[in-house]
């Protein structure tokens, strides 16, 4: 049986990816600084990407066939607040990972997760393919460009089998606050169920983003592990953009309350990109993967998740 090590297992995507791999007959080890709620079929091991020794020990013990690095400071807002920590985790952590792979002499296939934020400001209306110029406008995106260049260096110098992913926005049930869909869904659920004043204060609603369901994204990650070409860069996203206004109005329609919306400029990002849309032709051609879950299904499931959180909280 093939073995996979998911680094950053306790984050939003980790549990979904673990389930996808297990469903496809792969033995899953999950690594993180601390253990979250994990499926009983996942074997947990503690790793700190800033401590190379802990990575070497884990890789020596497990000797995985696949390594997927989900560990990152992944919030754009968080990267503005903590640019130093963002580079520590997203850049130094990746150096430590590749050095550990090299020292243990592993032949694992590595899936390194980057972001559409690497592209930065996009010309209005264009779909972005993998050849599009990288012009990140925030510390998070710049850190992801840097880790990608490091990965290519290790590929060329040491022959490490690495596939690079530029993941566009993805969401779904269990995503933490600090991202647009859970932030909207939680606020609306609270306004409906806790009898609060039915007013929402929001940031820029004109920005358009390509947003996929996390359950589709992890299917794409699995497809790349099996069918992706070593050393290649792959966009992964739905190929369709939705405005923040559409997401908000769609979620509000799920509520029984009449909710008004007020724009709060303090919630705007220091720099924002008006529109980002994924050209996903390459991953579709190479692996056959295609997104299947509609944005409306994703929004509904996210809203129900937050309603249940509130219900459970009131029962406690």
Domain ranges of the chain: 3-171+212-236, 180-209+240-276+283-315
Rounded to a whole number of angstroms, the CA Rg of the chain reads 20
Residue 270 confidence (pLDDT): 60
Please report which confidence band the pLDDT of residue 266 belongs to, taking 50, 70 and 90 as the band edges.
Answer: low
> Phi-psi category of 171—alpha, beta or left, where left has phi over 0 and alpha has psi -120 to 50?
beta
Give the mean model confidence (pLDDT) for residues 34-45: 86
Tell which CATH architecture fits domain 3-171+212-236. Answer: 3-Layer(aba) Sandwich (3.40)
Q: How far is Cα 43 from Cα 31, in angstroms, rounded to an integer?
A: 9
Residue 287 DSSP SS3: helix
* Count of beta carbons in the 10 Å neighbourhood of residue 124: 8
- In the chain, DSSP finds a helix count (H) and a strand count (E) of 11, 15
Q: Phi and psi of 215, rounded to 5°?
A: -70, -30
Please report which confidence band the pLDDT of residue 316 belongs to, taking 50, 70 and 90 as the band edges.
Answer: very low
Inter-CA distances, 139 with 72, 88, 213, 256, 271, Å: 12, 11, 25, 39, 11
* One CATH from 3.90.25.10, 3.40.50.2300, 3.30.2350.10, 3.40.640.10 for 180-209+240-276+283-315: 3.90.25.10
Residue 163 confidence (pLDDT): 98
For 110-157, the pLDDT digits (tens) are 999 999 999 988 876 679 999 999 999 899 999 999 999 999 999 999
Q: Hey, what are 148's tokens?
A: 């990608």
* Count of beta carbons in the 10 Å neighbourhood of residue 195: 9
Handedness of CA 61, 148, 138, 303 (dihedral sign): negative
pTM of the model: 0.94
- How confident is the prediction for the chain on average, in pLDDT? 93
Residue 272 confidence (pLDDT): 65
């Amino acid at each position: 049986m093939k073995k996979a090590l998911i680094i950053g297992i306790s984050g939003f995507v980790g549990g979904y990816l673990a389930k996808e791999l297990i469903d496809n007959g792969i033995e899953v080890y999950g690594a993180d600084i601390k253990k979250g709620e994990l499926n009983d079929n996942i074997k947990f091991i503690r790793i700190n990407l800033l401590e190379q020794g802990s990575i070497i020990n884990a890789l020596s013990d497990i000797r995985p066939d696949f390594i997927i690095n989900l560990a990152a400071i992944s919030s754009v807002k968080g990267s503005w607040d903590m640019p130093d920590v963002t580079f520590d985790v997203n850049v130094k952590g990746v150096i430590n990972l590749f050095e550990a792979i090299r020292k243990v002499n592993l032949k694992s296939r590595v899936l390194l997760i980057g972001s559409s934020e690497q592209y930065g400001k996009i010309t209005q209306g264009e779909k972005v393919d993998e050849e599009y110029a990288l012009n990140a406008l925030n510390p998070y995106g710049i850190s992801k460009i840097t880790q990608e260049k490091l990965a290519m260096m290790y590929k060329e110098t040491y022959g490490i089998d690495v596939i690079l992913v530029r993941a566009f926005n993805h969401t779904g049930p269990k995503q933490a606050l600090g991202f647009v869909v859970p932030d909207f869904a939680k606020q609306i659920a609270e306004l409906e169920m806790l009898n609060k004043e039915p007013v929402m204060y929001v940031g820029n609603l004109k920005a358009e983003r390509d947003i996929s369901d996390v359950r589709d994204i992890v299917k794409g990650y699995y497809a790349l592990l099996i069918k992706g070409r070593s050393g290649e860069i792959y966009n992964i996203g739905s190929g369709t953009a939705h405005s923040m206004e559409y997401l908000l109005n769609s979620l509000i329609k799920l509520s029984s309350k009449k909710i008004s919306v007020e724009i709060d400029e303090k919630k705007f990002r220091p720099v924002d990109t008006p529109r980002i849309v994924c050209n996903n032709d390459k991953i579709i051609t190479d692996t056959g993967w295609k997104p299947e879950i509609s944005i409306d299904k994703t929004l509904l499931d996210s809203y129900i998740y937050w309603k249940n959180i509130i219900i459970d909280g009131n029962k406690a």
